Structure 1
């Protein structure tokens, strides 16, 4: 399937749904960063995958409805390539257009030589429409075809058509479908009126064969009766033999029967030689006979000659350049003078190399674009990671979607704040070199950052005097944030003790304080914006840290009330005069209870809850 079809889909998806939706569709279809090129061949399955992915991403149509939409996209997109002129002049009315669809495919075959076009035949018609047979080597595209048929009628002939799929059978890996097209069939009345032709004398067979040097006359039993002079020179004496012994039907995609031939007299046929013919060569040839490397392909029209009770296949060899002629054993003089055979061969020879070069350039350019898009995607990920390290992911995504930073400012009723300070860090800075200090604190923060990610908390900031601030429940309002920060704090104390002072060798000790309450939060600053937290809760958590002790976790009373009966070991510290806060009741968070102890405690709690005292 040529890239032109996929380019039409890309163009209108981007136009109707936006670039972001198109990228999501590509990613869901498993072809992220795919760049389609007009003359490149792609897998047929890709279009079906795009339809399913579009339905999944946009969620406004089914996959079959999207295939119909893709069909209309292709019709509109072809207009930008100039094919609308061909479609508008294909017939006087929509009926003529339907009869000649196969011929339209043949018209564009020279631009797209590997085209695997379907075949159409108007099986029957009446004043209210027609029955159309559709044959294709592809499966699953009936909705796509229906979209094209209805849109062509409206766009080029101003006719409203109702397309109904009556039958769809897959046989020998080919689609055999029957459509009923309901429309005002104005052209049907003109067909019923037979044209009045004057009487002429019967043309002699010899004259007929001279007029059409490439022709085959065969009877109802498909026995070859006569062959044109040029074709006879090419394939030898094949009269009185069966047509199917020498040729197979390549197009249209219908059974090669007498009835189908009579009903398809306005459709272009292609017959391909079954075997390679061995012909005498010119005198300069070193061998007397040679088997040509390319099979003969004949293209033309089937016409019934009633007086002779035969069908004449009026054809010409399908040749695109001089190289094809040599492979088939043909010469310029063999070709017809009354059609464009000679001109097409010579022009094809002249333009083929330029066209091939341009196609190669286009394919190379598309590959380069794909590589650039992949590289761009890698840098985008790196940029996202850098951005997410500066602010919460949810806030960063809101900014990427164009939201004003001021809208990120909001209040939170319940947030857990934790401050961690490394005891003795100031003294270490006075003794160690700057490089030693930076290397040491960097190693500690890398470990702590890992812990924060695992507990799904938010690292607010790190200050120069080795203070590490973490928050839970902001900016994402999630339940259980106090428990997660309690577990995180316990792990901080454990992880910190594994680090040693680079000079003294003593173990590092963390001093931690926790508090819960309400805050305000939002992005601050235009340059190097930072997501900051404000409020008395932040100050109280900081005081819990500064009034704590090395290697311990100091928590406020609200924290204790929230964590009790949650499996944590909490000990009463006492009353403490806190600067700016007055007398405060505080506690130590010392660890977690083991599973058995926690289980027994929960049982005792339940017993106290449901056991009543007996009446006196």
Structure 2
């Protein structure tokens, strides 16, 4: 599991490098429950890998490892924002020094991140041109994240812009990652060890040696315990034999995760923090537990290892579990002071933690409500303008730049006959009921089609447009707008309401037939008969954009709008009238029955051939009913046509 700190640094890096629109796409594609991560909450390791793969799909460049490397390198910029970078600035005077203390830095964070399962970085060789560094982790797939982290550290804190990083060997298995890295940089600060031939101090007796270090273990090359510090002896029962026993019978090595072998311990012992706990029961009982943390020191003239350690204690409960007292601890460090302070403040911390849990719960509830209202806002906007336009407005793109030129769209006008005259004789409540019925019926039909209802007037006339969602031929106002449009939309949007892939004119044709069919249920309260309806549509170029501030409205302009309106005006009641351009878009696939009307004259224009859309072609999209009759159904709604 990963702490949210790592994931939130990736989120911040995406926004910093690629913009907030890309992060919104990631949230949408991965269906993330929130747009941020809690720093101290555990998340699945796979989530960071999924985010990297999602970026490959969105940005159409690089690989998963490319973005993992970027996340690792950018982590320290994010760390600096949280004011955590000071610990790295004092960790080592040079990059070489820092590489030797990475494991200690990870270990020092055990109070802040108590469940952190950090990787192991171990320098095995070095010369004046660089170092060989082994990287081990229980996580699979994070090698390039670690490499990016090393690159980021070198550049940000040690100004090693010329450092080169290579994978020398990959010893990974199905259980863990083990990679040998070569870091090439100016390592002239490295000085080979010099052996001192003459002794300047007298020998130290064994009694003095262990009096100074009461928490220490001395073992030979076979890892047989030869001596124990007095304070370690105290925690075990007096009748438990400890001397002369193998180390792994008395203690269990927790970290590093290696087999207890002489050569490995000598190699790791120079700069890796070792952590062990007891296998044998303690004096306090079988539930007692003591953890010892420290460094392995090689005593060359005796060919022995000295584990110089101290107990890991975070609270009074840890002391009770280990069977230790304050008098057993060193007077020269702050362990005793920390324990006493923790005892005094533990209740305050618990109360603060409970308050934090309540606040986090309220925060999650507020985020959930905000997300719900945000979705409602998106739904409202998508009913009055194209979805991609509404997303761009919400992302902060200036309204004045939202202008698109459509080479080919299909525009349809409908008009409810006699409604205006009938309202003169109806009561206000009756007028509202009639309008509400008409609008609800038309909207319920429109919602199933990939069209935009551009205008609705109180005389129940409508303007519909299809083809705005097909942006393959859209001419955008600027390259920046083109980039934002690509990032905010996906191919799934276009297929959501048009799974069969009909062209925009076919969509309008199906919509017009269904509206005509539904108009039979729009009853005139005065005559008790259905209202008549006139429908007309045309295909042509148009320009779309958002106008108005602060009341924004999406409008469509162009000659095609005027011709589509004339198609409706010159049509007949309860018939669907279309232009020759629309006819050309429908005739190829033969999905509809079309009658030739003849030449029609418009105001201020020459005559033009027009047509009647009669019905769906029975040889297409038919459904057998009672095995005796074939009836045409709309492929969008299933309604009989």
Alignment TM-score, normalising by the size of structure 1: 0.83
2:521 maps to 498
In structure 2, do the counterparts of structure 1 residues 446 and 176 end up closer, same or farther at CA, with 3 Å as the change threshold? Answer: same
In structure 2, the partner of 1:184 is: 186
- Alignment deviations for residues 334-358 of structure 1 (CA, whole Å, 9 cap, x no partner): 2222333322322333455555555
Q: Deviations over 1:575-615 (max 9, x none)?
A: 7787666988765443344329x9xxxxxxxxxxxxxxxxx
Equivalent-residue separation in structure 1 for 2:158 and 2:583 (angstroms): 79
More displaced stretch, 70-79 vs 530-539? 530-539
- Residues 292 and 327 in structure 1, CA contact (< 8 A), matched pair in contact too: no
Structure 1 residue 73: deviation in Å?
2.0
1:330 Cα deviation from its structure 2 partner: 1.2
Q: Deviations over 1:371-414 (max 9, x none)?
A: 43333232222222222222333544454465665666677676
Question: 1:255 maps to which residue?
Answer: 259
Figure out how many residues of one structure are paired with residues of the other and give that number: 586
Cα distance in 1, alignment partners of residues 98 and 607 from structure 2: 92
Correspondence 1:317 to 2:311: yes
Q: Is the 8 A contact 1:292 1:328 kept in 2?
A: no
Q: Is structure 2 residue 265 aligned with structure 1 residue 241?
A: no
User: Is 1:268 equivalent to 2:273 in the alignment?
Assistant: yes
Which residue is 2:153 aligned to? 152
* Matching of residues 37-436 of structure 1 within 5 Å: 37-81=38-82, 83-159=84-160, 160-171=162-173, 173-189=175-191, 191-195=192-196, 198-236=199-237, 237-263=241-267, 264-277=269-282, 279=283, 290-291=284-285, 293-355=287-349, 358=352, 365-397=359-391, 399-400=393-394, 416-426=410-420, 428-436=422-430
The answer (yes or no) to whether the contact 1:552–1:589 under 8 Å persists in 2 is: yes
Aligned twin of 2:630: none
Q: Which residue of 2 aligns with 1:440?
A: 434
Instruction: Note the C-alpha offset of 1:273.
Output: 0.9
Distance in 1 between the 2:368 and 2:7 partners? 20
| TM-score, normalised by the number of residues in structure 2 | 0.80
Question: What does the per-residue CA deviation read over 1:236-285, in whole Å, with 9 as the maximum and x for residues that have no partner?
Answer: 441121211110111223321122222314432211112432x2xxxxxx
Shift of 1:298: 0.7
CA distance in 1 between partners of 2:453 and 2:53 (Å): 40
**1:420/1:513 contact within 8 Å kept:** yes
Q: Per the alignment, do residues 358 and 459 of structure 1 end up closer, same or farther by CA in structure 2, a change over 3 Å counting? A: same
Candidates 505, 509, 512, aligned match of 1:489: 512
What whole-Å deviation, never above 9, does each CA across 1:96-133 have from its counterpart, x for those lacking one? 32222222222232332222222232222223222222
For residues 199 and 561 of structure 1, the distance between their equivalents in structure 2, rounded to whole angstroms, comes to: 103
Distance 1:436 1:119, change over 3 A: same
User: d(CA) in 1 for partners of 2:173 and 2:405?
Assistant: 66
For 1:208 and 1:327, the matched residues in 2 are separated by: 27
Change (3 A) 1:482 1:63: closer
Report the secondary structure of 1:192's partner residue: coil
2:432 aligned counterpart, secondary structure: helix
1:394/1:107 Cα in 2 relative to 1: closer, same or farther (>3 Å)? closer
What does residue 575 of structure 2 align with? Answer: 552
Inter-partner Cα distance in structure 2 for 1:100 and 1:57: 38
Mapped contact 1:275–1:295 kept (Cα < 8 A): no
Judged with a 3 Å threshold, the aligned counterparts in structure 2 of structure 1 residues 500 and 103 are, in CA distance, closer, same or farther, namely: same
Judge conservation of contact 1:37–1:363 (CA < 8 Å) in 2. no
Q: Is the CA contact 1:511–1:550 (under 8 Å) kept in the aligned structure 2?
A: yes
CA distance in 1, matches of 2:11, 2:608: 65
What per-residue deviation string (whole Å, max 9, x for no partner) do you get for residues 155-206 of structure 1? 33333422211222334722222112222222333x3323566443332222
CA drift of 1:291 comes to: 1.4
Q: CA deviation at 1:207?
A: 2.4
**Alpha-carbon distance in 2 for matches of 1:576, 1:59:** 50
**Equivalent-residue separation in structure 1 for 2:404 and 2:322 (angstroms):** 79
How far is the alpha carbon of 1:295 from its aligned partner? 1.6
For the structure 1 residues 49 and 348, does the alpha-carbon distance in structure 2 shift closer, same or farther, using more than 3 Å as the test?
farther
Whole-Å Cα distance in 1 between the matches of residues 576 and 174 of structure 2?
Answer: 75
**1:423-465 Cα deviation digits (max 9, x unpaired):** 3434542444332332233223323234344443332323333
Name the SS of the counterpart of 1:178 in structure 2: strand
Matches of 2:90 and 2:48 in 1, distance apart? 29
Consecutive unaligned residues of structure 1, counting only runs of 5 or more, are 280-289, 599-616
Post-superposition CA distance 1:296-326 (Å, at most 9, x none): 1011222233444432222221111112111
How far does the alpha carbon of each residue in 1:475-505 deviate from its partner, in whole angstroms, 9 at most, with x for none?
8688954444344333222211133344653
Counterpart in the other structure of 1:601 = none
Once the two structures are superposed, residues 61-117 of structure 1 have per-residue CA deviations (whole angstroms, 9 ceiling, x without a partner) of 322122222222223333445554433433443333222222222223233222222
Distance 2:159 2:562 in 1: 74
Instruction: Give the conservation status (yes or no) of the 8 Å contact 1:406–1:523.
Output: yes
Question: Where do residues 467-478 of structure 1 align in structure 2 (5 Å cutoff)?
Answer: 467-473=461-467
Name the SS for the 2:244 alignment partner: coil
Determine if contact 2:438/2:522 at 8 Å carries over to the other structure.
yes
CA shift, 1:232, in A, is: 0.9
Determine if contact 1:26/1:50 at 8 Å carries over to the other structure: no
Pair 1:512 & 2:535 matched: yes
Query: Over aligned residues, Cα RMSD in angstroms?
Result: 3.6
Once the 2 structures are TM-superposed, how far is the Cα of residue 473 of structure 1 from its aligned partner? 5.0
Q: Distance in 1 between matches of 2:406 and 2:157?
A: 61
